[in-house]
Structure 1
Amino acid sequence: MTSQRETSLKPIVVPFTAGTSPSPLSRLGHHEVLERWHAVDRSAHAPHIVAVPGEDGEDWTAAALVTARPNTAYLKIVDAIGDVPAAVAAVVAHARGRDLAQVKWEGWAARPEDAAAAGFASLSPPLAQREAATGPEAGYVRWLRGSTVTEPPYYGQTTHFTCGAVTALVAQVHAGVLSREEFDRRAELTLWRDATNFPACEPVGLGVAVRRAWPSSPVAVHLDVDRPVLLDHLSENEQEWRAHLQRMSRADAGRIGVPIAPHRFSTAAIRSAIGRREHVLLLVSLAGMQGFDVPHWVLCHGVVPGAVVVEDPWANAATGDTWVDAHLLPVPDPSLDTMSAVSADGFSGAVTIGRPQRSGAPSSEPADE
């Protein structure tokens, strides 16, 4: 329900530029917070200030620094200063005006009681992150469209190349197949070692590794090309032996019963799979969210009106991106559809993991949507 305070707010929204601060912002004080705002180049995430004007029309009574990854359906409050409840309410009103699915709040200085009073729920802290990762110990989320999504654990990949293994492990913890205590770096590297095409995990190899690790979980691969993938950036000699490994993975898939659907797995198919309580490991390009066309695995595990909710095991600290951005991340359907076309190699790929089956139960065939 929208509060009277939110509906009556007319926030001031101005761009945030590193190295400069509007006079009304400087007069609010909190210089240690402002230093954090300027510590990294946030320009890739459309940083802006949402402020509450004072009665004189010149000063501000509150302000928040707000950012978000491009092509997503959320806003993130980095910090709120001054009259914190008023600043947060202004951001929520701003997000509603943009018809977004969610507002997040980084817990650098936010108090849990203030977050709860503003309608935010606490996010579970990460199970692990890379040593170079930066971010607050706490984070909060508020859904805006009457929807909530069951929260999986957040686990930041500890290497540059284990995103596929991490998404599979998060899916299995979320499904209740794997306990949080069993999800650690050893599990991450063990699954990656079985799935890797050195160093990347391609769809068929990942699907085969998941089925081997959890034989009771139905697994299907969705790959719209009948050739080796993720190799175009390598020399001919480097491509040759990796291509051979991928052909071996296809043979393994046939032997252990992992079907390979030769079609692109559409956003509509992702929504249908999630509706059946399946998890979708989706190969995307990071061009839309991070500005560079690198293939990367994310986990699709929830849906809200207009967006699919994903877990991204990687955050770009250089842009102020943290685990709070990457966790419970809503991506609009059209954006996700664009991201899932891995342009550098001209294909799309996904792996679906179904609910564990009892012994003797028939396995489901993959949807070719």
Structure 2
Amino acid sequence: MSAAETQRMQRAQNTRHVAYRAIPVPQSCGADAKRQQAAGRTTTGDTITAGARHDGICSIYLKLPEVTRAALVQAQGALERTVYTASDGQDTAFLLGYHRPHTAQEKLCTFSGAERLREGLVEYAALHAIRGSHVITVKTEPGVYAEQAMTTDDGQSWHPLDEHEHYRQTTEFTCGPVSLLNAMHRLHPQVTANRVDELHIWREATIAMACEPYGLALSAMKRGEQPRIIVSKTGPVLNPADGAMGMLDAAMSLDVQEHFATQAHAAGIPVEVMPFTAADVAKRLDGGRVALVLIDEHVMHGEICPHWVTVTGMLADGTLLVDDPWIDEPYGETLVDAYQLPIRQADFDLMIHYDEPASAQAMIIL
């Protein structure tokens, strides 16, 4: 047990006579509550059925304050959620925690209830989450924890984010340009992302909505970087068949990809053709390099779609740190959810095979 974890446990235990609980919320709960609300039914609108499992444990009915219930209904989609509670027999406090599937992070947010139970409940929730096999990092939204600290079990700390530390894509299809801008900011802090550059790079590298590695690498070179491309096969990387990915003209998209590849080879951008794993991505991070990697959003976001993310480094156990330009704001996500997101290599391996064999794996090393 790390020193940070021991300290959290001691602080949680110092609050005597308080009962804590962690209640996993079934994935259908938020959607069911939303449907009931839309139908005008209020008999169960302020309760959730939580803790239902296949191991025979009875369902637990828990009265929730409106602020927590509303956040729980909002945080549906692919998010995995837990309601944490603390009660001393007189007062009760609630805290919502959630994380994206196949990531090693839990975010604590939406505290409500007795203020004096806040610190102990946050400490309990962090300890409970870290004890779970899926969590390495616990982060808190500003306002949930007085210190507003975001810490890992090894004591590493994240400070509150400023506006330039992580830039999110402002359109549905500019993940590639924003991943490149976030990578450049990581390498050169004086470079700050903005919408003008986001759209400019998209215009340079798009194949009709999506962006592919050769075009993005050319944009990186134009901005003074020395990119290296790794793809799992030659030819177009993204298959635009059947109008997928918003491709307006499949033949045009294929032709543009061939043109970008020709330009990249002519510009002398190194290209390696080889299938790769998450371990191969990790090896490419030596010397402070970063990697733009094409993934399938389905594993983490619940949508089948090609998506670019920036892999910026690793934790001591080999877990990758990822800056994701996409934030599911309708589900209550903020920059905290997407910045330096830890993903174990086994989980990342699930993400890096979009539409194979029709499409190819791709990454760009800067």
Tell me the TM-score range normalised by the shorter chain: 0.7 to 0.9
- Matching of residue 66 in structure 1 with residue 92 in structure 2: no
Q: Distance in 2 between matches of 1:148 and 1:302?
A: 15
Q: Distance in 2 between matches of 1:88 and 1:325?
A: 17
Q: Distance in 1 between matches of 2:152 and 2:80?
A: 21
Give the 3-state SS of the residue equivalent to 2:201 in structure 1.
helix
Q: Give the corresponding residue for 1:158.
A: 170
TM-aligned CA deviation for residue 62 of structure 1: 3.1
Letter in 1 for 2:241: D
Equivalent residues of 2:291, 2:363 under 8 A apart: yes
Q: Structure 1 residues 6, 303: closer, same or farther in 2, change over 3 A?
A: farther
Q: Distance in 2 between matches of 1:60 and 1:318?
A: 31
Equivalent residues of 2:208, 2:248 under 8 A apart: no
TM-aligned CA deviation for residue 76 of structure 1: 0.9
Q: Give the corresponding residue for 1:80.
A: 111
Q: Give the corresponding residue for 1:270.
A: 281
Deviations 1:276-313 (A, max 9, x none): 21110010001111111100000000211242111111
Q: Structure 1 residues 237, 52: closer, same or farther in 2, change over 3 A?
A: closer
- Matching of residue 143 in structure 1 with residue 169 in structure 2: no
Q: Distance in 1 between matches of 2:189 and 2:363?
A: 20
Q: Structure 1 residues 24, 291: closer, same or farther in 2, change over 3 A?
A: closer
Task: Map residues 22-101 of structure 1 onto 2, 5 A cutoff.
Answer: 26=63, 31=66, 33-34=67-68, 36-42=70-76, 44-54=78-88, 61-81=92-112, 82=114, 83-99=117-133, 100-101=135-136
Deviations 1:94-130 (A, max 9, x none): 12211421111123x436xx125xxx1xxxxxxxxxx
Q: 2:228 aligns with which of 199, 215, 220?
A: 220
Q: Distance in 2 between matches of 1:233 and 1:8?
A: 61
**Percent of aligned pairs with the same residue?**
25
After TM superposition, the structure 1 stretch with the greater mean CA deviation from structure 2, 171-180 or 11-20, is: 11-20
- Matching of residue 5 in structure 1 with residue 11 in structure 2: yes
Q: Structure 1 residues 237, 191: closer, same or farther in 2, change over 3 A?
A: closer
Q: Distance in 1 between matches of 2:23 and 2:189?
A: 47
Q: Structure 1 residues 101, 41: closer, same or farther in 2, change over 3 A?
A: closer
Q: Give the corresponding residue for 2:200.
A: 190
Q: Distance in 1 between matches of 2:362 and 2:98?
A: 30
TM-aligned CA deviation for residue 39 of structure 1: 5.0
State the number of aligned residues. Answer: 317
Q: Structure 1 residues 190, 258: closer, same or farther in 2, change over 3 A?
A: same
Alignment gaps of 5+ in structure 2: 31-44, 49-59
Equivalent residues of 2:84, 2:94 under 8 A apart: yes
Q: Distance in 1 between matches of 2:85 and 2:68?
A: 14
Equivalent residues of 1:285, 1:296 under 8 A apart: yes
TM-aligned CA deviation for residue 35 of structure 1: 5.1
Q: Distance in 2 between matches of 1:293 and 1:7?
A: 44
Q: Distance in 2 between matches of 1:94 and 1:60?
A: 21
Give the 3-state SS of the residue equivalent to 2:255 in structure 1.
helix
Q: Distance in 2 between matches of 1:347 and 1:246?
A: 12
TM-aligned CA deviation for residue 7 of structure 1: 6.8
Q: Distance in 1 between matches of 2:173 and 2:274?
A: 25
Q: Give the corresponding residue for 1:244.
A: 255
Q: Give the corresponding residue for 1:104.
A: 139
Letter in 2 for 1:257: G
TM-aligned CA deviation for residue 179 of structure 1: 2.5
After TM superposition, the structure 1 stretch with the greater mean CA deviation from structure 2, 328-337 or 36-45, is: 36-45
Q: Give the corresponding residue for 1:210.
A: 220
TM-aligned CA deviation for residue 52 of structure 1: 2.8
After TM superposition, the structure 1 stretch with the greater mean CA deviation from structure 2, 233-242 or 186-195, is: 233-242
TM-aligned CA deviation for residue 20 of structure 1: 3.7
Equivalent residues of 1:25, 1:60 under 8 A apart: no
Equivalent residues of 2:12, 2:123 under 8 A apart: yes
Q: Distance in 2 between matches of 1:348 and 1:303?
A: 21
Q: Distance in 1 between matches of 2:87 and 2:61?
A: 9
TM-aligned CA deviation for residue 8 of structure 1: 7.9
Task: Map residues 174-185 of structure 1 onto 2, 5 A cutoff.
Answer: 174-176=186-188, 178-180=190-192, 183-185=193-195
Give the 3-state SS of the residue equivalent to 1:257 in structure 2.
coil
Q: Distance in 2 between matches of 1:93 and 1:42?
A: 24
Aligned CA RMSD, in angstroms, stands at 2.8
Give the 3-state SS of the residue equivalent to 1:310 in structure 2.
strand
Equivalent residues of 1:265, 1:350 under 8 A apart: no
Give the 3-state SS of the residue equivalent to 1:5 in structure 2.
helix
Q: 1:254 aligns with which of 232, 242, 265?
A: 265
Letter in 1 for 2:11: R
Q: Structure 1 residues 346, 106: closer, same or farther in 2, change over 3 A?
A: same
- Matching of residue 328 in structure 1 with residue 340 in structure 2: yes
Letter in 1 for 2:82: H
